[in-house]
Amino acid sequence: MTDPVFKSVSFIGLGAMGAPMCANLSLKSPVPVMAYDLKSAAVEAAVTKGAHAVQSIEQATEADLVFICVPGEQEMLSVCLGEEGIVNSVREGQVIVDCTTTTVSASRAVASALKAKGASFADAPVARGVPNAIAGTLSVTVGGDEEIFSRIEPWLRHMATDVAYCGPVGTGTVMKLMNNMVLFENVSALAEAMAVATRAGVDRERVFELLGQGSADSFALRRHGTFMTSGEYPTDQFPISYSVKDLDYALALAQDVGVETEGARLTRDRFQRIVDQGMGHLYSPVVYELFNNS
């Protein structure tokens, strides 16, 4: 059951992930959901899904519970701590939930600034991608006070099927970065396997079908492998340029804690080569083109 103290909810950031998340929240929320994005067309689309349009971050911050989902650290810091950011209009007792994939340091900086105003913050980045955002079957890892988690969990379940408490502020982001690091390394490994198998005589259409019958089966194989098989890479999924960003966040975190992550560094370099070739707007399985064109 959702927290009766929250009389209104807002959602800031209506991109590839945020738009379907806001749509599911609007459909299932027992109270009004206000929607804001820099792009008016995105706000208009959210209204067709049941949200109420607002014209600024300040208006969105009038809600008791505020969700954020923007591209990365820079955008998240701007929304929260910028000249027109949430921190300037937040009030005591509000709860801010950031679903962005950002850095641990950014999450902790925002939490500290909001706490000084009497508001609470939780980092709650989401995983599984656009199809699951549309279906409302995302996975969420949450960092923050456990009491705040208990209050926001039912609201997150309007958008996700798996919601896990990880610990203090920042730990939800830690686990999301590790999720993405492992995923992208898996995608890179799949590209290698496809290249070796096809050059060794296995039909391209069967490589991942056969791998999926053994212990190499994975989420990445079943979702990302489809696009390597077809050679058609979507433009409406998580672009590989964003994957580079997330790998940079993960590598910086690893350096902070003194872990050498050679596999992640290799994957990051491969993804960057794809970006440098002008394909940064395509979904990460496009990394296979490094092998396909060599």
Residue 236 has pLDDT above 90, yes or no: no
Contact 10, 54 (CB under 8 A): yes
Model confidence pLDDT, tens digit, residues 46-105: 999 999 999 999 999 999 999 999 999 999 999 999 999 999 999 999 999 999 999 999
pTM above 0.75, yes or no: yes
CATH number listed for the domain at residues 9-168 = 3.40.50.720
Domain with CATH 3.40.50.720 in the chain: 9-168
pLDDT at 293 (0 to 100): 59
Instruction: Determine the pLDDT at residue 129.
Output: 87
Tens digits of residue pLDDT in 179-227? 999 999 999 999 999 999 999 999 999 999 999 999 999 999 999 999 9
pLDDT grade, residue 292 (50/70/90)? confident
pLDDT digits (tens, 9 = 90+) for 125-162: 999 989 999 999 999 999 999 999 999 999 999 999 99
**Catalytic one of 7, 28, 39, 176:** 176
- Digit-coded pLDDT (tens) for 3-24: 567 999 999 999 999 999 999 9
Q: Return mean pLDDT, the chain.
A: 95
What pLDDT was estimated at residue 99?
98
Provide, rounded to the nearest whole percent, the portion of the chain with pLDDT above 90. Answer: 96
pLDDT at 1 over 70: no
What pLDDT, on the 0 to 100 scale, is given for residue 294? Answer: 46
| All CATH 1.10.1040.10 domain ranges in the chain, comma separated | 175-292
The contacts found for 80-86 with CB under 8 angstroms, 24 or more apart, are 80/110, 80/113, 80/114, 81/109, 81/110, 81/113, 84/56, 84/57, 84/58, 85/57, 86/57, 86/61, 86/114
Q: Is 48 exposed, middle or buried (0-12, 13-18, 19+ CB in 10 A)?
A: exposed
Active site residue 28: no
Domain range 175-292, CATH class: mainly alpha
